[in-house]
Amino acid sequence: MTANQRGAFLMMGAMAAFTFNDTLIKAIGTSLPLSQILVLRGAMASLLIYAFARYQGSLHLRLDRRDWGLVALRCLAEGGATFLFLTALMRMPIANITAVLQMLPLTVTLGAALLFQEAVGWRRMLAILVGFCGMLLIVRPGPEGFDAASLYALGAVACVTLRDLVTRRMSAAVPSMTVTVLASLSVLMFGIGYSFFQDWAPVSAGQLSLLAGAACIILLGYLCSVMAMRVGDVAVVSPFRYTGLLWALILGWLVFGDWPDVLTLMGGSLVVGAGLFTLYRERQQARR
């Protein structure tokens, strides 16, 4: 296979891993409180990621003050995004929340234009508008406004957008594995703090096994996504992120018996189409 073909398969594998992780967490969430899930999975995932970073020799904490500030802000956004996403995941079908998250390429492009004055042409701005219309078809505010699940999902999109924009401002001296380890630890610390407001439940061997599997799958997803970016052209590989929506549709139907209605599918199609067009235009601009 060519480098781009390998990158595409690795990206599809990463999206499959992340969606399987979401499925396991949603299944466990029916019997364990969210704070307990965050702590147990976070502890196991942090240990695995730390061990891998030490094995690679890519864990370096000698950063300048500016980068430390950006890393701290990113960790806060990571903790908020994880909490909001998992809360929404427990309250809405996995395909719906995954479809909402496909807004990220659009929101990051818009955020870069507003905050960093990056050039965004009228075509991409139109694509962003179409994507937001698709998002409204998915969350569909009623006469009373957005329900709680929709608000959590949109809050997760906002936090991940902030996380990605902050990441773009970091210097090249900040290793990716260092950021990943600190982000995982920040989610763990968030879960520990949240535990003071929730009572924990007894954990069975089966539940612990599922949490351990989720932690391993997170590491696998991260490795596949990093390798995909390294072996293939980013402009070619990035669109395959949208295969996560296909996995969410399949797993949501097989595991939970959920299948989105017509309006949700239409909204998801608009969001994905707008995101793909935005990636295409960014590739054209890079060539120019």
Q: Which tens digits make up the pLDDT trace of 214-239? A: 999 988 888 888 778 667 776 678 78
CA distance 260 to 49: 34
Residue 142 is predicted with a pLDDT of: 59
Helix (H) or strand (E) holding 60: none
Mean pLDDT of 237-243: 85
What is the C-alpha to C-alpha distance for residues 25 and 221, in angstroms, rounded to an integer? Answer: 15
The neighbouring-strand residues paired with 142 are 145
Closest CA to 80 of 224, 166, 229, 191: 191
Residue pair 180/58 in contact (Cβ under 8 Å)? The answer is no
Q: How many whole angstroms separate alpha carbon 95 and alpha carbon 101?
A: 10
Answer yes or no: is pLDDT of 245 > 80: yes
Mean pLDDT of 83-111: 90
Range 6-24 average pLDDT: 91
